[in-house]
Structures are given as structure tokens and as C-alpha cells.
Amino acid sequence: MIPRYRDEEIKNIWSTDNKLNTWLTVEIAHIESLNSMITDKTITQEETDEIKKHAKVNKERWLEIEKETKHDFQAFVQMLEESIPSNAGRWIHYGLTSSDVLDTTNIILCKKSLSVIAKRVACLISSLEKKTKSSEAKSRILSRTHGKAAEIQTYRDVFKRWLDQVRRSYDLIVFTNSRISWGKMSGPSGNYTTTNTVCEKVALNSLGLNPIRSSQIISRDIFLDYFYCILKLMISLEKIAMDIRLYSIEEVNEMNEGFTESQKGSSSMPHKKNPISTENICGLSRLYKSYFQTAVDNCYSFWERDISHSSSERIIFKDGAHIAAFTAQRLQNVIDNLVLNTEVALENCVKKENKLASQSTLNDLIKSGLSRKESHDISQLKSN
């Protein structure tokens, strides 16, 4: 993600250093599972200890080897084996294929990302709750359907709807984080040709994961859950941001983003106070929707696997997390500093009171005994 929209915690999760260290963690879990087997033990305790003691990530060496192999994970395995002074290094990656480690690692990083995103959304929820309980929230404001005045409500009604939608997004993020606790260590094509289901379960359980039936890769519909819960959040944030943008239109002007003393709205029109943060959120939401479509397309691969998903996933996994965390925090800042123009909103209500009385007139005429059609026709004429 470009620095402008980067979240530092997400950056650390998806950094190359953390990725390589997580690869190592997964490989060590597999080594320990090989050693734990009561029957068909392939590796001794001494060899296990030797690997755990000496296996180290050397990023520079990894990059050197990758230039030769043109395969980032084979370069990683070779780099690890070189770090072991004895022949015990031969057991690293035994019976596995690259996707065993790559997909399991991606699940781990996705789960950590969702934890960060959930924190950002929880802060947004707190800000919305405070805004809902504020004294200004009791003030009247028009409700609009189809862009036209419909009824009179309060700011609190608006905030509560926003709050409920964000809460639903938060609940789905938390649920998804608990649900996508999957991994695989089933080897080439997922057929357990060298490894076995017991070994896989032991290794994955040590990582807080559970095995899932797979081909050579974890089916991308599993990862789609990760992308969908972020999509639902982005739709919620976009809805709120768009509402604020509409409320800040010059002729409406019922609420505005906060504007700091030295902030500038335009390079050529000094009077302008543009809703730049909410516009920014809407733009990033558009970008994320394209990521989600890519995630959908990635769900298909040839037979047991291909790597058509790999290139795009290097971008959408981490950048999607950045967008979600960044926009949630940005919207929280908007809510904390939101300016409610209650007097303007009240004036707008007063201007429309006669038209809005049509509903009461309709109901009174129905109560008097007139048909609904007659009542509707009369009420419509009176309101024009």
C-alpha cells in the first residue's frame, strides 16, 4: 500500500520480515509434528532440536537464492537448510509443497489483520455511540427518500442507523476471524503422499488452526470469507461517508466535516470547505470493490491448482486490510469532529412542514370514512 493510506499495524503484519518469520514458524510446526509421531517417525529428537536451534531467516541470502531459482519459496527452503550446520536441515519442508506453508501463512496473516480491523471498527462504534448520545442529536432534521423531503426525524435517528450498520459489519469481522482458522499440510495435490493427516493435525493445532480438505491449495472460497467481511465493512463506511457528503451540499448544509484553522479547501477558491475525508473514503471503497471482484475470480483454478491467483493476492490481501483499517480510522475522525448545523436543519424542516403534513391529512381523512384513494387524492392536492 502506498504510504498515504497505510496502517502501521497492518504494514507490520504483511511485511516481508514477518512473512518470512511466519513461514519459518509453519515449517518448525511441521518439523515438530514429524518428531511427535509414535510410529513412522522420520526425524529424531536431536535433529528436531538442531533445526529449532539454528534455523534462521537471512533475508539477504534468500533474495540472492531467489535470483537464481526464480522461486521465492524454494529459495526460502534452501536458505533455511543452509542455516543448519548439520545434515538435519534435510528434513525442512519434508513431504510438503509450497502452498502448504504459503496458504497456511496467509490464513494466519488474514486473522491478525482482521483483529486490527476489528479494533479500528470498535473505535468507530464508540465515536458513533457518543455522537448518538450528544445533546445536538436530539435536534430535528429532514428525512429524505428519493432525495425529496419525506418526514421529520432527529439527527439521532440518522446516527442510530449508521451505528447499527457498522455494528453488523463488526460482528461479521469477528465471526469471520474465528471461522477462517484453517490450514493445510497435505503435500502435492493435497493427497498426503508423504505426510499424513495425523501429522498435519498436530502441526496445525500448534498454530491454532484446523486442517481442511484441499487440493494443492486451500480453496479460494475460504479466503473469500476474509474479503467479504471487509467488503461489508467498506459498504457500511461508504454509506455513512456518502450521507455526510450529501448533507454537506451547499443548499442542504445540515452537517459538515470539521475544518481545521489552517486547512485549505481549494487552491483557487479560498471560501471552499470540501468534504475531502468522506470523498476519500468513497474512493477507497471503489478500489476495494475491485479487489473483491478479483478475489471472486481467484476462486477458480485449473484442476488441483494453478497460480493465476498468486500475483493478484500479493496485492489484495494486504492492501485490502490497509484500506479497511485506514478508512475505519478516517471515518472515526470525521465522526469525532462532525459539525451539526442544527439551525439550518431546523429551517429546512420549517420550510417543508406544510408538505410533510400530507401524511397526517391522509390518515385523518381515512379515519373520517373516506376511501384511501379519495383521501390520497385530496391530501396530494392540499400539499401542492
Residue 349 has which C-alpha cell? 424542516
pLDDT at 272: 73
Q: Which fold has domain 3-42+94-255+273-340?
A: Fumarase C; Chain A, domain 2 (1.20.200)
DSSP E strands, the chain? 140-145, 148-154, 182-183, 210-211, 255-256, 339-340
Give whole-number Cα distances, 237 to 58, 100, 252, 275, 291, in Å: 41, 35, 21, 15, 16
Set 15, 86, 266, 308: catalytic member: 266
pLDDT, tens only, 71-89: 999 999 999 999 999 999 9
Question: In angstroms, rounded to a whole number, what is the distance separating the alpha carbons of residues 307 and 301?
Answer: 8
> Apex CA 316: angle with CA 313 and CA 321, to 5°?
130
Terminal C-alpha separation, the chain: 54
- pTM value is 0.94
**Helix H or strand E segment including 328:** helix 310-336
Distance CA 6, CA 11 (A): 7
What pLDDT does residue 38 have?
A: 66
Within 8 A by CB and 6+ apart from 306, the residues are: none
Marked catalytic residue, from 135, 146, 267, 368:
146
Q: What is the pLDDT of residue 42?
A: 82
The count of other CB atoms within 10 Å of the CB of residue 45 is: 9
Helix, coil or strand: residue 68: helix
129 CB-near residues (< 8 Å, 6+ apart): 163
Report residues of the chain scoring pLDDT below 50. none
Known active-site residue 309: no
